[in-house]
Amino acid sequence: MKISTRGRYGVRLLIDLAEHPKEDRVALAVIAERQRISVRYLEQVAVILRRAGFIRSVKGASGGFALALPPTEIIIGDALRALEGDVLVADPAPAGIRESPYRECVRSMVYDRLNERIAGLVDRMTLASLVERASSLDWASSGDTAGEDGETPPTGTSARTDESFMYFI
């Protein structure tokens, strides 16, 4: 399964807004710079997320974007479906084409189960959980052995985990 650039950038946009809650509204140019994403492409993604009700926008000199819901209420599966359509490993059999019994069996045993698992996984992920995970990984990959408050990083975090997390988004 491959999540498209639109899906990845959309999730990154949501994470950025959630990571900066004190900023009432954030200009897309600021987010684009922080995320190293084209402003034009981010505008297209923002329109989709706004229409789907995940973010809100205010026009004008002091305008910008903000989350429309608390991060705990934004389900990553819903956001990905708004951006991508169905999140599937394999598309269903083309309409009007009859599959061989073997292929039909493989589809139901493998692809359908994978699709169910992936949907279940992204439907259990909230934006808040991704932000929490990203911040713990940033802490672990910074090279510090202790945070500002002197605590040690969460167990099981490493720069290698950070790479796999960033590969997802």
Query: What is the average per-residue pLDDT within 108-136?
Result: 88
pLDDT at 101: 81
Burial class for 164, CB neighbours closer than 10 Å (0-12, 13-18, 19+): exposed
Q: Report the alpha-carbon distance of residue 163 to residue 160 in Å, rounded.
A: 5
pLDDT of 159 strictly over 80: no
> Where are the domains positioned within the chain?
5-87+126-132
Residues 6 or more apart in contact with residue 169 via CB below 8 angstroms: 8, 11, 12, 15, 130
pLDDT score recorded for residue 3: 84
Look at residues 49, 61, 65 and name the one whose alpha carbon lies nearest to residue 17.
Answer: 65
- pLDDT at residue number 94: 64
Asked: is 5-87+126-132 a CATH 2.40.30.170 domain? The reply is no
Distance CA 121, CA 111 (A): 15
Cα distance between residue 31 and residue 57, in whole Å: 14
pLDDT at position 92 = 61
The pLDDT score that the predictor gives to residue 154 is 47
Per residue in 131-142, pLDDT (tens digit) is 998 888 765 555
- Region 120-131: what's the mean pLDDT? 94
Which pLDDT band, with edges at 50, 70 and 90, does 71 fall under? very high
For residues 41, 89, 11, 45, the Cα torsion angle rounded to the nearest 10 degrees is 30
- For the ranges 29-33, 109-113, 140-144, the lowest mean pLDDT is seen at 140-144
Q: How far apart are CA 169 and CA 89, in angstroms?
A: 17
Residue range 58-86: average pLDDT? 93
pLDDT of res. 136: 80
> Residue 160: which pLDDT band, with cuts at 50, 70 and 90?
very low
Query: Mind listing the pLDDT tens digit for each residue in 46-62?
Result: 999 999 999 999 888 88
